[in-house]
Amino acid sequence: MTLTKKLSAEFIGTFWLVLGGCGSAVLAAAFPGMGIGFLGVALAFGLTLLTMAYAIGHISGCHINPAVSIGLWSGGRFSTAELIPYIIVQVAGGLAGAAVLYVIASGQAGFNVTAGFASNGYGVHSPGGYSLTAALVTEIVMTFMFIIIILGATDKRAPQGFAPIAIGLGLVLVHLISIPVTNASVNPARSTGVAIFQGSWAISQLWLFWLAPIVGAILAGIVYRWFETEKKA
Predicted local confidence at residue 70, as pLDDT? 98
Predicted local confidence at residue 203, as pLDDT? 97
Residue 131 CA: distances (Å) to CA of 99, 119, 181: 29, 16, 8
pLDDT digits (tens, 9 = 90+) for 138-183: 999 999 999 999 999 999 888 888 999 999 999 999 999 999 999 9
Give me the count of residues in the chain.
233
**Domains detected in the chain:** 3-232 (1.20.1080.10)
Predicted local confidence at residue 230, as pLDDT? 60
Angle, in degrees to the nearest 10, between helices 163-182 and 132-153: 180
Predicted local confidence at residue 233, as pLDDT? 45
Predicted local confidence at residue 5, as pLDDT? 97
| End-to-end CA gap in the chain | 33
Predicted local confidence at residue 202, as pLDDT? 97
| Low pLDDT (below 50) residues in the chain | 233
Predicted local confidence at residue 229, as pLDDT? 80
Predicted local confidence at residue 48, as pLDDT? 97
- Exposed/middle/buried for residue 173 (C-beta within 10 Å: 0-12, 13-18, 19+): middle
- Exposed/middle/buried for residue 19 (C-beta within 10 Å: 0-12, 13-18, 19+): buried
Contact 23, 30 (CB under 8 A): no
Element (H, E) at 189: helix 188-198
Task: Report the SS3 class of residue 233.
Answer: coil
pTM for this predicted structure: 0.94
Predicted local confidence at residue 163, as pLDDT? 94
Query: Which residue from 140, 154, 138 is spatially nearest to 218, judged by alpha carbons?
Result: 140
Predicted local confidence at residue 127, as pLDDT? 96
- Please name the amino acid found at residue 192: T
- Exposed/middle/buried for residue 115 (C-beta within 10 Å: 0-12, 13-18, 19+): exposed
Query: Which residue from 203, 23, 19 is spatially nearest to 125, judged by alpha carbons?
Result: 203
54-86: b or e for each residue (b if 16 or more CB lie within 10 Å)?
A: eebbebbbbbbbbbbbbbbbbbebbeeebbeeb
